[in-house]
Structure 1
């Protein structure tokens, strides 16, 4: 950004703070045939220690020149500079340098990204007043901004001003999800079809998401079935995963496992999102034995050559959480080792707190039978190893673990 900005500043020097004039031939010259080419080269191959390339002759900045610079400002979050560019363009004597639909849409996008919705709408009004007709892309950018800001009333007003397409309705459906309004999402989905607009696979999966997040997996399943019957779209892994998510959120593990089997039969291997949903569902259902089965499958795929799965933090943390709560310390250590191998920092503070709250008095009974003590011996070794990893007192230290010590440490840390 720095080199490109220097180039434009050399090329476009402010005369009175609002108008830019051409620089002289002695100021700029290089091998590029257009200043826009030189600026784009600066974006792609920045060399901050070198002076900006010079142009062989004087060039009047055109719309492309300004728009490229504006996009650079957008990437750096410099919204006010984006707006200044469009003001400079409006004062250019050459009509070819005046803002066009791409320029205005770039400014609207910058303001939407900054959450300045009133300013973004004002630019839209200004665009119309200057005779530049906004297209659906411009309106959809603004529509998405209103939905992201949870201003659904303004989004509903805006959609009356243009002819919406499937992207517009997908944005509105997603906005309803942000408002936890599955009924509204269904309303827009049906309205879209009534207007003769064919749903895309994004439409179907977004509506499925609305029902999944609101605890209505059966309705999500109905949308999925309808999607499979629509010849214009093709069911993908995202749709399968959303179906799995719907049942896992309620802890309906058996139903979710059946869907995963159907998913495999349809040629889709479970991915990190699939396993992550299942791990969270296992936690909700409080079925730690299922976590062991799932971890073995995940580990097997990670150890293949080449690996067919790269686990993420969400999946491994969910599995580790279940195992620690269930006192499966050996498996918990395997999982945190996998996290560290994949560059993920395990949340030791959380696991330490779980151990203190749930297992600190484990193996303290003096009345257990000899047979029971023998059965618990291996589990105790795993617990001691886990405490060693957590940094708690354990048999490896030759010191005694006391819950009072842990509480004192917590107070000191806070």
Structure 2
């Protein structure tokens, strides 16, 4: 019998129950850490649980420094990328109630920078970022990551690199989120060699790639025609017992077929089917996979 893996709902129930009981805050923190650092794939905790945890268990408690604990919770929660806007709004509300106005303003700026970057309005986000710095507010790693990702999504890789340089000047270390954005952006801009260099730099600094980083590199290399290199990272990903999604398989199959390596493409296709990774009908990769199947069996 396989292991039954707890899901988002399970952890929300635990957080809710512990926060309403007389259990120690240490138990609550440990449960939160298990949820955020464990095997829950989406790594999401409900807004209600976050707000309840922050509002009732951190502020006004002598054991914890409110804002630093919030930052640590949300950093663990999303691996130093900003959480969703609802969670951030809850945090700002708690900060205002605790008279932490400067910190509330900084978190508000974080929200706006993230939103602007997501809307592909990185220039406006950059203006807000610079205004924030000019007022003496220190951007977090998450804020830098939003800017790096925003520039990458707009194809402004050199500006993204400049943003990383500013991180170093600000004594902030790039993390796996930073490198993932850079790797994706470099491949999308047709610079696979630099993407691999960043990958090596990341590992050399002791920053371990996660599933998303692996998939960004593999799919990016495939799009650049570096299929053999992509296969090496694919095998490394498998060796680490990480699970590639259907998009990774489809990218490899399509890239091998495009290069005329039918046998290798068919081999990856067969692995995809055997491991239950063939895209479902509503998946955007479905028609690509079907087309690849036709070519593989011709």
Normalising to structure 2: TM-score of the pair? 0.59
Contact 2:114–2:146 (8 Å) recurs in 1: yes
Contact 2:214–2:233 (8 Å) recurs in 1: no
Match of 2:187 in 1: 248
| Offset of residue 276 of structure 1 | 2.4
Match of 2:173 in 1: 234
Match of 2:290 in 1: 352
Distance 1:291 1:211 in 2: 26
CA RMSD between the two structures = 3.5
Distance 2:201 2:249 in 1: 24
When residues 302 and 227 of structure 1 are mapped into structure 2, their CA distance, relative to the original with a 3 A threshold, is same
Distance 1:135 1:351 in 2: 43
Note the alpha carbon deviations across 1:69-128, whole angstroms, 9 max, x for none.
xx69xxxxxxxxxxxxxxxxxxxxxxxxxxxxxxxxxxxxxxx97xxxxxx9xxxxxxxx
Distance 2:259 2:269 in 1: 15
Secondary structure, aligned partner of 2:256 = helix
More moved, 260-269 vs 215-224: 260-269
Match of 2:196 in 1: 257
| Offset of residue 320 of structure 1 | 2.3
| Offset of residue 355 of structure 1 | 6.3
Q: Is the aligned partner of 1:276 residue 2:215?
A: yes
| Offset of residue 208 of structure 1 | 0.3
| Offset of residue 222 of structure 1 | 1.0
Match of 1:137 in 2: 93
Secondary structure, aligned partner of 2:139 = coil
Distance 1:135 1:177 in 2: 21
Q: Is the aligned partner of 1:321 residue 2:254?
A: yes
Instruction: Give the length in aligned residue pairs.
Output: 211
Distance 1:301 1:258 in 2: 18
Normalising to structure 1: TM-score of the pair? 0.44
When residues 215 and 349 of structure 1 are mapped into structure 2, their CA distance, relative to the original with a 3 A threshold, is closer
Distance 2:261 2:114 in 1: 40
When residues 297 and 249 of structure 1 are mapped into structure 2, their CA distance, relative to the original with a 3 A threshold, is closer
Contact 2:202–2:208 (8 Å) recurs in 1: yes
Q: Is the aligned partner of 1:175 residue 2:115?
A: yes
In structure 1, list runs of 5 or more residues that go unmatched: 1-35, 42-70, 73-111, 114-119, 121-133, 141-161, 360-385, 388-400, 402-414
Contact 1:302–1:309 (8 Å) recurs in 2: yes
4+ residue stretches of structure 1 with deviation over 4 A?
none
Alignment of 1:362-373 (within 5 A): none
Contact 2:215–2:244 (8 Å) recurs in 1: no
Contact 2:180–2:213 (8 Å) recurs in 1: yes
In structure 2, list runs of 5 or more residues that go unmatched: 1-15, 22-47, 50-84, 280-284
When residues 302 and 206 of structure 1 are mapped into structure 2, their CA distance, relative to the original with a 3 A threshold, is same
| Offset of residue 190 of structure 1 | 0.7
Match of 2:149 in 1: 209
